[in-house]
Structure 1
Amino acid sequence: GKVIEGTLSVHAKGFGFVLVKKGTDIFIPLEHMLNAMDGDYVSVEIVKKVPKKNPEGRIVKILTLQNKEIIGVFKSSKEGGSVIPSDERYNNPIIIPKDSLSSPKIGRKPKNGEFVVIMRTGWNENDHTVTGKIIDILGKPESKEMDLLLVARNNDLTIPFPTQVNKALTGLPEFDLQKELKSREDFRSVPCFTIDPESAKDFDDAISLVQLDNGRFELGVHIADVSHYVREGSAIDKEAYERGTSVYFVNNVIPMLPERLSNDLCSLKPNTDRLAFSVIMEIDSRGIVQKYRIRETVIRSAVRFTYEEVEAIIKGKKHSHAKTIHLMQMLSLILRRSREEMGSIDFDISEAAISLDEQGVPYSIRPRERIESNRLVEEFMLVANRIVASHIAKKSTKRNPKPFVYRVHEKPDKESIQSFLDLLERLGLKYQLDKEVKSDDYRKILDIIENLDYKYFIEKVALRSMTKAYYSTKNEGHFGLAFDAYTHFTSPIRRYPDLVVHRLLKYYASKEKDKKGAMKGEAATLSKKLDSICTHCSEREIRATQAEREFIKIKSMEFLSSKVGETYGGIISGMASFGMFVELSHYVIEGLVHVSELKDDHYDFDKEEFTLTGRKTGKVYRMGDSVTIKIKSVSKEEKRADFLLV
């Protein structure tokens, strides 16, 4: 066959495709991979052409090794040792010769069974073995930080802050109150609180509420004034941009900003004067914002509440601030109702709440509850974000554009909606759409299924039919929330876009004071810069979500591994030709029942209907069905659990 060069892309199941400059990608089955890895530049011989499919090939030579760190477990041997990569796409060991076992940087050789980081150094043409050198030793698999280190390394997350950032921190002064009060609104006499999870260390939002003489509510959402401390282009700012977002791992966090800022200077601690950026809104009894102002302020939080404490007060517990909390609860319900009337969609997808002991070992997993106090804070943040976005969107005109960072959520495409409606119809629900899909359609469907057995399953499918929200300089509205304009303003300690939004608001406010005319040329350069910030931050957000999910998966498997042989109830949450995924109702953890375990019959997979049907018995398994399973085996390393149907 013909020999072609290209870059290899490897699938999680072990096979790959070589991407060629011109023409169709070439499929490479597992047995013809020659130990090549994802990203390598290889030459391929085409073995056979397959009609209507990709041609099949085998790799004959690795031309350049992709320069990528690989993590794995070290096994020592007389000749040196070998490393088994932890990424399931790499299935062959990498040989480490004696002279590559340690580097001056590490100073020691790895011990048997330790996790190490290696780089591949060569590929042998005769026997196709790959050699590598050790560049870092992470440590023993059982040490409690190991899972976090692995996930961080796998997702390119840096943990320590660079020295220039730590240097810059020492130079950050406390603010000068008298000087700041000259240009800020003094809000210290108005009682405000922070409401956060028990474990929170940074408090970036505080809320205040008073009833005015005209009967309306004055709601203040006060956000830590991070942009006062983090100047654009500074070392701290560059590192925050690079990170894009804080990443949360159960009881650990890789923060976007160093602790001196996130847990101290910018944290809205109780009984301490703090600089804030506030949205102060006058809201009527229908939940409509009649007036608002966006101001730099000085605030003083009166209490640091946890969600549970506020929940207790809502349910009638006495407290000196109980009256305000009850007013807040009432206002949040009014806001929620007005949002629902606009067609806002509220998903109740259950996430796993994991509890880890001192050693980092999970001892309980249960579905996370959203309590009233969570929703109360959520509602106030939504309204503040919405007001900030529409404030700029309304002022921005063709003649005088105001480039901005919006949080947009497009409406789902026709195909996704159609397959969602088809699925509903197969479950016996006919839903007629008008020409265009509206947020309200989703809300109505969720209302209809509220009390059905497969409510949970349909919510998941509905969520999958929707696009993901992202950051953009074009205001295209937010479909899921049914808002004309939306942004992220309320979390500048943990999200970079919010910090940029704060800077833009301050910049436009100062422009208005100077009464200088349009900023045409300036707007164009600003818009370009913001475009790349949006793209970068959207990517960082996806990376953070992947890392968080990977960590939860590892911990879930560690938890399940002590439950092998036990029986649980679950719901079929996914279907494939090779079996069905079952989510345990009790733990929100997914595992696989492989087709080969369905021994009573031969089952055929129908991908239109999402079903497995038995040929002899006609027995049907479909998504959303309740089943009982037994845990067969669990592998924390491979992040998978295998179940048997009972």
Structure 2
Amino acid sequence: MAKNMGKQGNKQTTKNAPTPKKPKRKTIKGNLSVHAKGFGFVAVKKGADIFIPVENMQNAMDGDMVQVEIVQRLPKKNPKGRVLKILTLHRREIIGVYRSGSEGATVIPSDERYNSPIIIGKDSFSTLKNGRRPKNDDLVVVVRTQWNESDHLFRGDVIDILGKPDNKGMDLLMVARNNDLTIPFPKQVIRDVSGLKKFDLQTELKRREDFRSIPCFTIDPESAKDFDDAISLVQLDTGRFELGVHIADVSHYVIEGSSIDREAFGRGTSVYFVNNVIPMLPERLSNDLCSIKPKTNRLAFSVIMEIDSRGIVHNYRIRETVIRSASRFSYEEVEEIIEGKEHKYAKTIHLMVMLSLILRKAREEMGSIDFDISEPAISLDDQGVPYAIRPRERIEANRLIEEFMLIANRIVANHIESQVTKKNDKPFVYRVHEKPEDQAIKSFLQLLERLGLKYQLGKEVESDDYRKILDIIENLDYKYYVEKVALRSMTKAFYTTKNNGHFGLAFDAYTHFTSPIRRYPDLVVHRLLKYYALQEKDKSSLKKTETDALEKRLQKICDQCSKREIRATQAEREFIKLKSMEFLSTKVGETYDGIISGMASFGMFVELSHYVIEGLVHVSELKGDRYEFDKDEFTLTGKNTGKVYRVGDAVKVQIKSVSKEEKRADFTLVKES
């Protein structure tokens, strides 16, 4: 009977079969992160993030909640997707240039992550006071209010008028608003800071190590206003070095949970803009109470290390101290002493150079990677107008300070890590840099092979592999290119309570201890060191529930600080690009040497060797042939001539046009005779 019922059912279904329905497309919801070059990624809870090419964005902007579909899956690569719909507009203020014409008004966002104009209706100025209306080319603040599914365009309201782009200080204000950076401190914070009292020396000396008899000094950029680290060095009778790294004791003044602390947590880090700074802490702290000024008693947190001639640390102590800086040096002054200029502390500085070279060599032997990629150093006049740009130099004085800060940070991390046991956990804040992803390594090695370099890895990639590759390419023509690709293949460092080591430095444990004036994680590390030292003194430890609660709280701090660090880096780069374009706009028509720094289907990016500024040679500028883009080889190849342009090739270009508002420079290739 069952068989007969089955046959009848099948026969009836065939006779009256409805038109088959198309299978429903599987869609995914997620937040969109947009890169400055226009493409984006949608974060998903499980699996790899979905890559969204420029042509599949539907004008969606950074931070929007979107609905996407996957259009292509490739082995060992992020799935490629397409935005179907914007579900929620990210409610963020957007800064842009107001343009009004016969067809209506629009705002062109200044942030490259927002690549679509915003339409401004006639009734979109209701929140402006006194009936104000923006004029053409004014910088305005706009909030998106609607996204049209039919034309993929945005509508928005103008909520503030900032002024003309060339007004003094406008660049800084624009970048700050673009990146959600707060400039003025709340009134309560200013009141609380003004009420802070200077320390009582005699009281502090009862509980601190007195380091005032040991000469120490600060070494910073000439333009520095706050000095949060000092160094000392003496050679012991044994021949070993006693290196002291003395850090301003910010935690003495900034009490956890206070209004000052809450504001510092919200900011996460200071943000630097060539000759300006948005500080993490108010000026009275950063430039006065916690600034290590010459000939002035200051509270410090010090790491004192006994190091031998091979760079091995034999003993160390981490102590709260009182110090007195003997002198304030700039990097350039120290460099002059290194090169032979006489000075009272010349002997000490030469010893410091010797020790820093020893530490660097020991670090390199461990496999530590040292990228040396040029960055632009911009000089501004009193009005904020750039008058010079040059590649930033890493002189020996810079390297000296870098090595001493690295060893102090490493010792602090190892100090805590060595005390962790199953019975006595000590939650901490680590600076972690994880190994590159397998696919990134594979792509990098394939690139090397195409360049004629076959490098064989062991079972898994080590920091030393990168260091060896950089040594191999040191004197080759494509050194610049390979260094850039190597850097891009690596993951980003971040803060976490889990110690997963630091791949780039080849350290088993690393933290940030040396800059509590400008980085919130360093301030937290100081507090934790004091807390655990007190526990050790009292011979007490946390209960499991207390440890879990502390770790959870610290991880929230790590997440916040990692996010704010990314935001600060974006803002600093945006400001540099603005000033670079402003400078380059005075050079239109001039010719320069450059290096191809990137490739896309629409053209090639060229970095000017003289100024370290990048511009675009559009594919339409490559006359006399049709060029095809090879995304695997990173090349543009002429279909008829066979002419090949590769990343890393040296070229000569002429500056065709520059737009500061769009942060864009267009170049044309100059034919060699």
Asked whether the 8 Å contact 1:97–1:132 carries over to 2, the reply is no
For residues 306 and 567 of structure 2, the distance between their equivalents in structure 1, rounded to whole angstroms, comes to 38
- From 500, 506, 513, the counterpart of 1:489: 513
- C-alpha change, 1:161 and 1:430, in structure 2 (3 Å) is same
Per-residue CA deviations over 1:317-341 (Å, capped at 9, x if unaligned) read 0001111111111111111111111
Check if 1:259 corresponds to 2:283. Answer: yes
Partner residue of 1:143 out of 155, 167, 172:
167
Query: Is residue 83–residue 96 contact of structure 1 (8 Å, CA) maintained in 2?
Result: no
**Which deviates the most, 543-552 or 516-525?**
516-525
C-alpha RMSD over aligned residues: 3.3
Q: Does 1:509 align with 2:533?
A: yes
Distance 1:630 1:271, change over 3 A: same
Secondary structure (helix, strand or coil) at the match of 1:97 reads coil
Aligned length: 638
Aligned partner (choices 499, 509, 517) of residue 523 of structure 2:
499
| Greater Cα shift, 130-139 or 432-441 | 130-139
Runs of 5+ in structure 1 lacking a partner?
Answer: none
Residues 377 and 624 of structure 1: is their aligned pair in 2 closer, same or farther, counting only changes over 3 Å? same
1:316 matched residue in structure 2? 340
Given the superposition, is the C-alpha separation of residues 160 and 295 from structure 1 closer, same or farther in structure 2, using an over 3 Å criterion? same
1:383 to 1:14, Cα distance in 2 relative to 1, 3 A: closer
The alignment status of 1:91 with 2:116, answered yes or no, reads yes
- TM-fit CA distance, 1:448: 1.2
For the pair 1:622 / 2:646, whether they are aligned, the reply is yes
Aligned to 2:447: 423
- Where do 1:224-623 residues align within 5 Å? 224-517=248-541, 519-623=543-647
2:502 partner SS: coil
Is the 1:335–1:379 contact (alpha carbons within 8 Å) kept by the matching residues of 2?
Answer: yes
Whole-Å Cα distance in 1 between the matches of residues 44 and 411 of structure 2? 49
Compute the displacement of 1:73 (Å): 2.6
TM-score scaled to structure 1, two decimals? 0.91
* 1:16 Cα offset (Å): 9.4
- State the Cα distance separating 1:520 from its structure 2 match: 2.5
SS in structure 2 of the partner of residue 100 of structure 1: coil
SS of the residue corresponding to residue 554 of structure 1 reads helix
How big is the shift at 1:623? 1.3
Output the CA distance in 2 between the equivalents of 1:41 and 1:360. Answer: 38
Q: Distance in 2 between matches of 1:70 and 1:561?
A: 25
Q: 1:283 to 1:519 in 2, by over 3 A?
A: farther
Change (3 A) 1:454 1:297: same
Partner of 2:15: none
Aligned 8 A contact 1:581 1:590 in 2:
yes
User: SS state of the match for residue 72, structure 1?
Assistant: strand
1:285, distance to aligned residue in structure 2 (A): 1.3
Secondary structure in structure 2 of the residue aligned to 1:166: helix
One-letter identity of the residue aligned with 1:509: A
Q: Is the 2:124–2:156 contact (alpha carbons within 8 Å) kept by the matching residues of 1?
A: no
Alpha-carbon distance in 2 for matches of 1:223, 1:573: 39
CA distance in 1, matches of 2:650, 2:326: 49
In 2, distance between residues paired with 1:438 and 1:43?
Answer: 39
Tell me the amino acid that sits aligned with residue 438 of structure 2.
Answer: K
- String of CA shifts for 1:204-224, please: whole Å, max 9, x gaps: 000001112222111100000
Q: Give me the whole-angstrom Cα distance separating, in 2, the residues matched to 1:589 and 1:363.
A: 14
- 8 Å CA contact 1:222–1:277 kept in 2: the answer is yes
Identity %: 74
Question: What is the identity, as a one-letter code, of the residue corresponding to 2:527?
Answer: R
Offset of residue 96 of structure 1: 4.8
Deviates more, 1:326-335 or 1:10-19: 10-19
One-letter identity of the residue aligned with 1:297: T
The question of whether the paired residues in 2 share the 8 Å contact of 1:7 and 1:39 is answered with: no
- 1:500 deviation in Å? 0.6
How many angstroms apart in 2 are the aligned matches of 1:256 and 1:294?
A: 25
Question: Residues 285, 8 of structure 1: CA spacing in aligned structure 2 closer, same or farther, 3 A cutoff?
Answer: closer
- Give the secondary structure class of the aligned counterpart of 1:395: coil
Counterpart CA distance in 2 for 1:425 and 1:468 is 25
Per the alignment, do residues 253 and 42 of structure 1 end up closer, same or farther by CA in structure 2, a change over 3 Å counting?
closer
Counterparts in 2 of 1:237 and 1:401: CA distance versus 1, 3 Å? same
After superposition, give the CA deviation of every residue in 1:425-462 in whole Å (9 maximum; x if it has no partner).
21111222211222111111111111111111111111
Classify 1:441/1:170 alpha carbon distance in 2 versus 1 (closer, same or farther; 3 Å).
same
Q: How big is each residue's C-alpha offset from its partner over 1:437-490, in whole Å with a ceiling of 9 and x where there is no partner?
A: 221111111111111111111111111111111111111111111111111000
Using the TM superposition, give the Cα deviation of residue 37 of structure 1 relative to its aligned residue in structure 2, in angstroms.
6.3
Aligned-partner residue type, residue 182 of structure 2:
T
- Counterpart CA distance in 2 for 1:520 and 1:621 is 61
Change (3 A) 1:351 1:98: same
- Check the 8 A contact 1:5/1:41 in 2, yes or no: no
**TM-aligned CA distance change 1:565 to 1:190, over 3 Å:** same
Question: Residues 472 and 313 of structure 1: is their aligned pair in 2 closer, same or farther, counting only changes over 3 Å?
Answer: same
Q: Distance in 2 between matches of 1:7 and 1:283?
A: 51
Summarize deviations over 1:603-627 as a string: whole Å, max 9, x none: 2221221111112211111111111
Q: Could you tell me which residue of structure 2 aligns to residue 213 of structure 1?
A: 237
CA, structure 1 residues 296+25, in 2 after alignment: closer, same or farther (shift >3 Å)? closer
| More divergent stretch after superposition (452-461 vs 78-87) | 78-87
User: In the alignment, which residue of structure 2 is the partner of 1:161?
Assistant: 185
Change (3 A) 1:326 1:461: same
**Cα distance in 1 between the residues matched to 2:315 and 2:663:** 52
CA distance in 2, matches of 1:457, 1:32: 29
- Quote the residue 1:201 is aligned against: 225
CA shift for structure 1 position 8: 9.1
Q: Distance in 2 between matches of 1:93 and 1:606?
A: 34
> What is the SS of the residue equivalent to 2:418?
helix
Task: Tell me, yes or no, if the aligned pair for 2:248 and 2:291 is still in contact at 8 Å.
Answer: yes
Mean Cα deviation higher: 370-379 or 636-645:
636-645
Superimposed CA distance per residue, residues 557-609 of structure 1 (whole angstroms, 9 cap, x where no aligned partner): 11111111111111111111211111111111111111111112112221221
AA aligned opposite 1:388? V
Distance 2:411 2:37 in 1: 47
Q: Are residues 447 and 214 of structure 1, via their aligned partners in 2, closer, same or farther at CA, if it must alter by over 3 Å?
A: same
Deviation at 1:68, TM superposition (A): 3.1
SS at match of 1:630: strand
**1:194 partner SS:** strand
Displacement after TM superposition at 1:67 (Å): 3.4
- The TM-score, its normalising length taken from structure 2, stands at 0.87
Task: Give the counterpart letter for 2:233 in structure 1.
Answer: L
The one of 199, 203, 210 equivalent to 1:179 is: 203
State the 1:414 CA deviation. Answer: 2.1
Could you say which residue in structure 1 is the equivalent of 2:5? none
Provide the C-alpha distance between the structure 2 equivalents of 1:227 and 1:587, rounded to a whole number of angstroms.
Answer: 41
Q: Which amino acid aligns with 2:122?
A: P
Shift of residue 84 of structure 1?
4.0
Judged with a 3 Å threshold, the aligned counterparts in structure 2 of structure 1 residues 547 and 63 are, in CA distance, closer, same or farther, namely closer
Distance 1:440 1:31 in 2: 40
Contact 2:212 2:323 in 1 (8 A): yes
Range with bigger deviation, 78-87 or 199-208: 78-87
